[in-house]
Amino acid sequence: MTDANDDYVYDEATGEWRPAAEMAASAGAERAVVRDAAGNILADGDSVSLIKDLKVKGANQTLKQGTVIKSIRLTDNAEEIDCRHEAIKGLVLRTEFVRKR
């Protein structure tokens, strides 16, 4: 007499089998809050500006303080954001070097 919705997933953190619906709900709640250098909360699509000059590895270029980066994307790491810049593709910046606009 099992119901079709009785799917269980092994939770490695607790070492228990938990209902899949419960695990999915808790996974969304565990997403870390991403903050910039000033403590402002960042979200996907925000614009940020650099607070210091940054040398970009592999591009032989320096991004100057005050450079605006538009439409950021959050990553799994709360200390990094994925960015697009017209001169550099695949740019990942640390949140300690940006400020929300």
Residue 52 C-beta-side C-alpha neighbours within 13 Å? 8
Q: Please tell me the class of the 48-100 domain.
A: mainly beta
CATH 2.30.30.40 location in the chain:
48-100
What pLDDT digit, counting tens, does each position of 58-74 carry? 888 899 999 999 999 99
Write the DSSP assignment of 21-34 as a string of letters: HHHHHHHHHTPPPP
Confidence (pTM): 0.68
What pLDDT digit, counting tens, does each position of 2-36 carry? 455 668 888 877 888 888 887 776 665 556 799 99
